[in-house]
Amino acid sequence: MAKSCGIIGDGALPFKRGSSQWKALAEALAGLVRESGCEEFLSGMERGGDQLGAEVVLGLREELGLKLWGVLSSEEQWIHWPNVDADLLFGIMDRADYEYRISNHATEHSRLDQLLFIADNSKKLIVVTEALSPEARAAVVRAAARGREVSLIDPVTLAVSYPPTAIK
């Protein structure tokens, strides 16, 4: 795998898709993608920061020669989502270069397994979050312990921390 970066979110974003805050976060993520030096990006494809990160990568794909891996937690990841959210996922996955599925069926550890896979296979991890969930924290800790660069970006303030204060 070429130099890869993971982009993960940690839950729903606190503003609506298409809002000025959404656009500002997309621009900030585009800056991090450009600065990363990565050629391939892994996204967990969850609603919120995962999908926004994937869309940013797709928007920069031709200009920067990027590739996108959609890393699904399971074949059932989207099963309980509203149709509009599932349709967005399918649209992004149709444009992704690769699909990787952690498991066929969802388990209580599906999201954790997904995030750890992304952390393990990324030279750099970009995390969109206001506060880390236990699963995202585990991925951040694992990535940092393995010497990976980790960037946390707050979706509201757009503040980026290197290294994340969450693991000090």
Rounded-to-integer distance, Cα 4 and Cα 162, Å:
18
User: Structural domain tally of the chain?
Assistant: 1
Predicted local confidence at residue 89, as pLDDT: 96
Residue numbers of the domain that contains 148: 4-133+140-167
- Give strand pairing partners of 109: none
pLDDT in tens, the chain (168 residues): 569 999 999 888 999 999 999 999 999 999 999 999 999 999 999 999 999 999 999 999 999 999 999 999 999 999 999 999 999 999 999 999 999 999 999 999 999 999 999 999 999 999 999 888 999 999 999 999 999 999 999 999 999 998 655 565
Predicted local confidence at residue 165, as pLDDT: 56
Predicted local confidence at residue 131, as pLDDT: 87
Rounded-to-integer distance, Cα 98 and Cα 13, Å:
25
We report the CATH number of the domain holding residue 93 as 3.40.50.450
Predicted local confidence at residue 10, as pLDDT: 87
Predicted local confidence at residue 2, as pLDDT: 65
Predicted local confidence at residue 61, as pLDDT: 97
Ramachandran region, residue 143 (left: φ > 0; alpha: ψ -120 to 50; beta: rest): alpha
> pTM here?
0.93
Cβ within 8 Å of residue 128, ≥6 positions away: 7, 8, 9, 10, 13, 25, 29, 48, 49, 50, 52, 53, 153, 155
Tokens representing 150?
A: 């980790």
